[in-house]
Structure 1
Amino acid sequence: DVEAPELAELLAYLKKMVFWSKVEPRDATAELALLSVVGPDTATVLASAGMPVPDGTESDRAAAIEGGGFVRRTARLGKDAADVVVPRHALDAWWERLTTAGARPAGTMAYEALRVEALIARNGLDTDDRTIPHEVGWIAPAVHLSKGCYRGQETVAHVSNMGKAPRRLVLLYLDAGDEQLPTMGDPVMMEGRAVGRVGTVVQHHELGPVALALVKRSVPVDAELTAGADTPARIDPNSVPADEPEPPGRAARAGLRRR
């Protein structure tokens, strides 16, 4: 599951990394399609559509669909959701079964609004060439800190063991109409200086105009900000991660100094 512009480069890299394992990376875009079921009735809809319903625990997160594909339970978008991967030739049939089972059709605008509300960064939209996994919440779901060599390992290990990420992903409330909304890549300003970068901008059905933004860790939660062309913005305090405990490397170094 990767952004389309990055597919060729990632596939080429994965093929280079095949040594002794019996694996064959390939582009499955023409073979498989993805449907997302989101909301508190996810399990009921899946069962009514004749799909397996994994419970979402570590040991039961995904289950195969008879005839091809699989269901992957996830809590990424709201409290409950599932990714339904089906053979592309059967996409229309599964769409019909899910909607008949009670799912209400929604497009990408609704999906993106829920993604922003859930603080899920999308690569290339909510990241730039300086982004590290710690800044956008990708350590727990995507990085194995005990693994051997991989691209960017030194930076990831250093921040995990010795420090904190220089920026953090937050939700911005925007005080503007459609015609004044900032766009992806616009700066976030505080007292005349750039302190962040705007990512995805959406209109949410409850929150109104909101955006994801990468801002410097030093920016106060209650700071008066502007985004893009002087659009007033403020940080949702509930989107700011809790203070992290002291990194193990720094704690160990402090212990040695006290001896």
Structure 2
Amino acid sequence: MTTAPAQSPLLERPGAVQAVGLDAGVAAHYGDPMREQRMLEQGLAVVDLSHRGVVTVTGPDRLSWLHSMTTQQLTGLAPYTSTESLVLSPHGHIEHDLHLVDDGETAWITVEPGTAPALVEWLNSMRFMLRVEVTDVTESYAVLGEPIGNESLPAEREARGVIAWRDPWPAMGSDTAAYSDVDPHPAAGRVWRELIVPREQLVEEVGDRHLAGIWAAEAERVNAWRPRARKETDHRTIAHELDLLRTAVHLHKGCYRGQETIARVHNLGRPPRRLVFLHLDGSGHVLPEEGAELVKAPGERPVGRLTTVARHVDDGPIALAVVKRNTPVDIQLLAGDVSAAQTVIVNP
């Protein structure tokens, strides 16, 4: 179950062009995507992510309860420590990617646009007799993204009720595994955080800072090899395929739904598919659509699909894709008539 996002008031800013698809409701750009991306890289811009869902979990049992159902070690989580955890199906397929930070009284979770109601419905079905309360607060809280992660929030922001989640990507967790052999990781040193702000303060929180559209944020994400739920995932995706164990899975915590698949593939097998980074041929005027099939040669059967396509200010047309594990790593792939040069992320 998904719900349509509300239109952001920031779409009223001059030059705003609304995004389509998953990111409808916020701006794709504000008239100059490349400049916006450069401003974002320099830490001078903020991104409207107010279409993301926001869920709160309160009550004294909240962390142990969430710990028991998801992939991450959450018991004993210190206040204002950010983490990432997955909700899996019984067969280990990714259903939700939780961006979670607890302030000592409330666990704040942001999820992909339109998915908060489904998450809340499932969590409520698992409450039983525990002292927890789950609330979809998307109508009351909005999300902003900014490339600042190490600094603490200024006191005046905390006083206004702003909560910050820092993306752990690509740092390794305390008891997990990497499925990429690249060292150093291209996103090493990356800083990115989501600010959860009262929705009525969204415009005020942006203030006079520059705005960058979702195209700029997506280009940064693709260049960091950062997978995103509902972009890089489908109904069959397991965490190993996307190198998501590194930030979202604790390998020796207690039992949870889907754990058998996590353990079996990690200990006994290999994921059937793998995430790759692609440089796309930009000599044409049109890039392939997200979801386009990838083939080794014209007329051959597909070996995968494009999941996210972006134009990077320095690297040009780039993409993330999911391909079959046995796809040769040393060949160029084709998306329609556009060639795509692979960089291995998940080692086959």
Counterpart residue number, 2:203: 92
SS in 2 for 1:4: coil
Read off the aligned partner of 2:165 and give its amino acid letter.
Answer: R
**1:112-191 equivalent positions in 2, closer than 5 A:** 112-177=218-283, 179-191=285-297
Cα offset for 1:16?
0.9
**1:101-116 equivalent positions in 2, closer than 5 A:** 104-116=210-222
**1:177-256 equivalent positions in 2, closer than 5 A:** 177=283, 179-191=285-297, 192-227=300-335, 229-237=336-344, 240-241=345-346
Counterpart residue number, 1:68: 161
CA distance in 1, matches of 2:128, 2:279: 48
CA distance in 1, matches of 2:262, 2:125: 22
Give the number of equivalent residue pairs. Answer: 219
Change in 2 beyond 3 A, CA 1:177/1:19: farther
Read off the aligned partner of 1:22 and give its amino acid letter.
Answer: R
Ranges in structure 2 where 5+ consecutive residues have no aligned partner: 1-109, 171-186
Cα offset for 1:184?
1.9
CA distance in 2, matches of 1:121, 1:156: 17
Change in 2 beyond 3 A, CA 1:125/1:43: closer
Bigger helix fraction: 1
Change in 2 beyond 3 A, CA 1:216/1:149: same
Among all aligned residue pairs of Structure 1 and Structure 2, give the percentage whose two residues are the same amino acid.
38
SS in 2 for 1:190: coil
Change in 2 beyond 3 A, CA 1:218/1:242: closer
Read off the aligned partner of 1:126 and give its amino acid letter.
Answer: E
Read off the aligned partner of 2:118 and give its amino acid letter.
Answer: E
Counterpart residue number, 1:28: 137
CA distance in 1, matches of 2:308, 2:291: 9
Deviations 1:206-240 (A, max 9, x none): 1111111001222232212101x121111124xx2
Ranges in structure 1 where 5+ consecutive residues have no aligned partner: 53-63, 244-259
Q: Does 1:38 align with 2:147?
A: yes
Read off the aligned partner of 2:196 and give its amino acid letter.
Answer: V
SS in 2 for 1:194: coil
Give 1:81's match in structure 2, choosing from 186, 192, 198: 192
Bigger strand fraction: 2
Read off the aligned partner of 1:83 and give its amino acid letter.
Answer: E
Please tell me whether the aligned partners of residues 200 and 211 of structure 1 are also in contact (alpha carbons under 8 angstroms): yes
Q: Which region of structure 1 is more displaced relative to structure 2, 27-36 or 177-186? A: 177-186
SS in 1 for 2:330: coil
CA distance in 1, matches of 2:218, 2:117: 24
Change in 2 beyond 3 A, CA 1:73/1:122: closer
Deviations 1:181-225 (A, max 9, x none): 221221111142321111011111111111110012222322121
Change in 2 beyond 3 A, CA 1:216/1:242: closer
Please tell me whether the aligned partners of residues 303 and 327 of structure 2 are also in contact (alpha carbons under 8 angstroms): yes
Read off the aligned partner of 2:288 and give its amino acid letter.
Answer: P
CA distance in 2, matches of 1:154, 1:73: 29
Please tell me whether the aligned partners of residues 274 and 347 of structure 2 are also in contact (alpha carbons under 8 angstroms): no
> How does the TM-score come out when normalised to structure 2?
0.57
Change in 2 beyond 3 A, CA 1:134/1:9: same
Aligned Cα root-mean-square deviation (Å) = 2.5
Q: Larger Cα Rg: Structure 1 or Structure 2? A: 1
> How does the TM-score come out when normalised to structure 1?
0.75
CA distance in 1, matches of 2:150, 2:119: 33
Deviations 1:71-95 (A, max 9, x none): 2333549522222211111122221
- The answer to which structure, 1 or 2, has the higher relative contact order (CA under 8 A, 6+ apart) is 2
